[in-house]
Amino acid sequence: MKKKLSGFTLLEMLVVLFIISLLLLLFVPKLMSQKESATNKSDAAIVKVVETQIEVFELDYGRKPEEGELVSKGYVSEDQYNKYVQKK
């Protein structure tokens, strides 16, 4: 009398792997587009912050800031200013 071994067959494993692959093909592009959208919104927010800080500087000093002056006087960080220059 042979004892029947329980477990998954090769065909069952292939079907499961195929389904997982299909799900990955459907969801990975969506995740990538959401990441790009979040990055774009973040960059737009940084541009708005720097523009607002330029207006604050103008109110404080009565003139437009020279290059690097916003950073040196603490109105924005260097990273914010660099992203602003790249996006503008």
pLDDT in tens, the chain (88 residues): 667 777 889 999 999 999 999 999 999 888 888 989 999 999 999 999 999 999 999 999 999 999 889 999 999 999 999 999 988 7
Determine, yes or no, domain membership for 5.
no
Determine, yes or no, domain membership for 82.
yes
Domain containing 62: what range?
14-87
pTM over 0.75: no
Determine, yes or no, domain membership for 2.
no
Place of tokens 């004892």: 3
Report how many domains make up the chain: 1
Q: Is the dihedral of CA 52, 56, 58, 64 positive or negative?
A: negative
CA–CA separation, 5 and 78 (whole Å): 66
Determine, yes or no, domain membership for 9.
no
Determine, yes or no, domain membership for 7.
no
Is-contact 79 49, C-beta < 8 A?
Answer: no
The Cα-based distances of 41 to 31, 53, 55, 62, 77 in angstroms read: 15, 18, 21, 31, 18
Determine, yes or no, domain membership for 22.
yes
Assign residue 4 a region (left: φ > 0; alpha: ψ between -120 and 50; beta: otherwise): beta
Q: What pLDDT is stored for residue 1 in this prediction?
A: 62
